[in-house]
Amino acid sequence: MIELRSLTRRYGRTTAVDDLTLTVRPGHVTGFLGPNGAGKSTTLRMLLGLTAPTSGTATIGGVRFRDLPRGLRHAGALLDAGDVHGGRSARAHLAALARSNGMGRHRVDEVLGQVGLDDAADRRVGRFSLGMRQRLGIAAALLGDPPVLLFDEPFNGLDPEGVRWLREVFRRLAAEGRTLFVSSHLMGEMEHCADHLVVIGRGRLIADESLAGFAARAGRAEVVVRTPEPASLTTALTAAGATVRPDPDGALAVLGVTAERIGDLALGLRIPLHQLTTRTASLEEAFMELTAADVEYATRESR
Amino acid sequence: MTAVTRPADEITRTPHPARYRDLLAAEWIKLWSLRSTWGAFALLLLALVGLATHAALATHAGWPDWTAQRRAVRSPLWDAFPAEAQMFVVLAASGVGAVAIGGEYASGLMRTTFAAVPRRHAVAAAKLTVLTGVLTLLGALGAAAAFAVSQAILADVGASMSVSEPGALRGIAASALLVPLCALVGMALAALIRHTAPAIVTAATVLLLLPTAVNEDERWSAWLRHAMPVPAWQRLIEPGGPPPWLTDTYPATVSGAWTTYAVWAAVAAAVVMLALHRRAP
């Protein structure tokens, strides 16, 4: 269980995290979404006691992380796969971490096996690919068999096989009753493994709900109509209060009226219809729309 | 900041004692799993013993031609602990110290370390203990070997001293302790600078170059010079005070030199503890 209460962090005049209050429950994968610079990493760092909050609290299992003598059995984390010394072997890196928390070498061998790094264990981390470093970071997070796991952009640098593997790992860990809090700036990465979504933008909470709820709330139903007489149908639909946007391929995208209503209208005017389809916006589109106003580094064209 | 928190044991499924010796063991693994450690330690021992051998052989070769006066003023410790050897010691030892902390900051490993052990001052204490302990042993080994080898060579011409003579043990101890002292200075600078290479350069500047820029003409400048580690070491390896051709108005004292060692070590350790504890990794 992760709890944030009015968590705020300012850097000079910039507010990285702004009055964030939320609870992340066990047994689920909670996606932590937001555009780049939204404050996700700062939030995770505050949870781990690496950055001090300006105000508010962040607790894991009801305890401020910095008050714990040892951390690995309380929360495992992968913040940045680069947070290792390139001069050490994977085994030595994990051995030092394990030992600092009173765990032995057999635990190191176990997690190396879990992430499939057995064969590379004695190679220097400096020669690892990004994907291998991600696996090493995940191994380190799993060392203490912790009830809470935090991941910051864990899919970065993984090949499709690695992405699928990691999703399965997340699901399995959540099924074991653990709390998983996984940040990403891409909805596509989360929609196949998260059950719950927390969305932030510019440090503020935008959404905190289940994946299904998010989809239903944010996804607007749009009707795609294809007709040989688009001009007269557009006039009729606009008169009925709909918004009509011509698609480049000749179809009409209609908002504000249902497919049934469009069908009845067309029949009344004797306008033939060749296609009448309801299209729900994808989660990705919903996410983009939700965070559009809060994108920290928008491209120039979109401003 | 006030937090409504429950006791830590509520989420600890299997209670585990947080033992300090586990942190020592972790730092031990970290130290020996870096190749640079082995390289620096080899360099240290080679420099200490090799350059002492070289200096003793030079004295051995020239001894028959030396005047009685020259033989009388010369200390056998100068060959055991030649200045060139200490330059290597200062560079290698401060480098090991800088790598131990600077490398961990620069690579980002410090974040991983502190996420595993949120009690940062315990991490800092373990690092200090392991590195100071190992380098004290290494320094003692190197200094004792340098003394033994050089005196064995000098004994051949009757120019050696025994370890029981006044000043011999002090010279060995001062040369041995210079190793952990320089490592502490390297660690402290790396804790402040957080990058390995700049910390090594700064350590070399502070420990080696700065003393050459300060003379002993004035009371304050003499005091400043005596308060530096390398001049303090130079004073400690002189068995009977400064050589006769140096007529210092403000001579360094043995107790002052030991005080310099102690203060630098204590301040460096305090800087490491404070910097690691307070600054976000």
Q: What is the CATH number of the domain that holds A265?
A: 3.30.70.980
Predicted local distance difference test score (pLDDT) of residue A185: 84
Based on the domain organization, do A113 and A196 belong to the same domain?
Answer: yes
In a domain, A263, yes or no: yes
Based on the domain organization, do A203 and A224 belong to the same domain?
Answer: no
Based on the domain organization, do A23 and A165 belong to the same domain?
Answer: yes
Q: Which residue of A has its CA nearest to B110?
A: A83
Distance in Å, alpha carbon of A72 to nearest chain B alpha carbon: 5
Question: Residue A96: which of B6, B12, B26 has the nearest Cβ?
Answer: B26
Domain that residue B182 falls in: 18-278
The alpha-carbon radius of gyration of chain B (Å, integer) is 22
Total number of domains in chain A: 2
Based on the domain organization, do A176 and A34 belong to the same domain?
Answer: yes
Would the CB atoms of A68 and B119 count as touching at under 8 Å?
yes
Average pLDDT of the residues in A66-81: 93
Last residue of a domain, one of A176, A208, A240: A208
Predicted local distance difference test score (pLDDT) of residue B252: 84
Would the CB atoms of A99 and B18 count as touching at under 8 Å?
no
- Here the CATH number for the domain that contains residue A50 is 3.40.50.300
In a domain, B103, yes or no: yes
Based on the domain organization, do A150 and A265 belong to the same domain?
Answer: no
Q: Check: CB of residue A244 under 8 Å from CB of residue A254.
A: yes
In a domain, A295, yes or no: no
The percent of residues in chain A predicted with pLDDT above 90, rounded, is 60
Q: Report chain A residues whose CB lies below 8 A from the CB of B1.
A: 53, 55-57
Cβ-based neighbours of B93, under 8 Å, separated by 6 or more: B40, B44, B135, B139, B178, B179, B180, B181, B182, B183, B186
In a domain, A289, yes or no: no
Predicted local distance difference test score (pLDDT) of residue B246: 65
pTM: 0.84
Question: Residue A100: which of B5, B11, B116 has the nearest Cβ?
Answer: B116
Based on the domain organization, do A261 and A166 belong to the same domain?
Answer: no
In a domain, A275, yes or no: yes
Cβ-based neighbours of B147, under 8 Å, separated by 6 or more: B52, B77, B80, B81, B163, B168, B171, B172
Distance in Å, alpha carbon of B124 to nearest chain A alpha carbon: 13
Cβ-based neighbours of A117, under 8 Å, separated by 6 or more: A90, A132, A135, A136, A139
Based on the domain organization, do A100 and A230 belong to the same domain?
Answer: no
CA torsion sign, A112 to A116 to A122 to A128?
Answer: negative
Question: In the numeric block, which tokens belong to residue B249?
Answer: 């108005």
In a domain, B170, yes or no: yes
Predicted local distance difference test score (pLDDT) of residue A211: 83
Among B1, B6, B27, B29, most A C-beta atoms within 10 A, so best to mutate, is B29
In a domain, A170, yes or no: yes
In a domain, B262, yes or no: yes
Based on the domain organization, do A237 and A112 belong to the same domain?
Answer: no
- Reply yes or no on whether the pLDDT at A167 is more than 50: yes
Q: Check: CB of residue A236 under 8 Å from CB of residue A269.
A: yes
Domain that residue A102 falls in: 2-208
Last residue of a domain, one of A183, A208, A233: A208
Predicted local distance difference test score (pLDDT) of residue B2: 41
Predicted local distance difference test score (pLDDT) of residue B42: 94
- Reply yes or no on whether the pLDDT at A189 is more than 90: no
Q: Check: CB of residue B48 under 8 Å from CB of residue B142.
A: yes
Based on the domain organization, do A198 and A145 belong to the same domain?
Answer: yes
CA distance B186 to B193: 10
Predicted local distance difference test score (pLDDT) of residue A301: 44
Distance in Å, alpha carbon of A58 to nearest chain B alpha carbon: 9
> Which stretches of chain B drop beneath a pLDDT of 50?
1-12
Predicted local distance difference test score (pLDDT) of residue B12: 44
Question: Residue B115: which of A48, A55, A92 has the nearest Cβ?
Answer: A48
ipTM: 0.86
CA distance A268 to A270: 5
Q: Which residue has the higher pLDDT, B104 or A250?
A: B104
Q: Check: CB of residue A99 under 8 Å from CB of residue A148.
A: no
In a domain, A149, yes or no: yes
Based on the domain organization, do A40 and A181 belong to the same domain?
Answer: yes
In a domain, B72, yes or no: yes
In a domain, A65, yes or no: yes
Predicted local distance difference test score (pLDDT) of residue A219: 60
Residues of B with CB under 8 A from a CB of A: 1, 3-8, 10-14, 16-19, 22-23, 25-27, 29-30, 33-36, 103-104, 107-109, 111-119, 122-123, 280-281
Average pLDDT of the residues in A273-282: 81
Based on the domain organization, do A240 and A114 belong to the same domain?
Answer: no
CA distance A75 to B162: 59
User: Cα–Cα distances in Å, from B45 out to A40, B18, B86?
Assistant: 49, 36, 11
Total number of domains in chain B: 1
In a domain, B121, yes or no: yes
In a domain, B5, yes or no: no
Predicted local distance difference test score (pLDDT) of residue A113: 94
CA angle A255, A259, A265 (to 5 degrees): 95
In a domain, B25, yes or no: yes
In a domain, B13, yes or no: no
pLDDT digits (tens, 9 = 90+) for A8-47: 999 999 999 999 999 999 999 999 998 888 899 999 999 9
In a domain, A303, yes or no: no
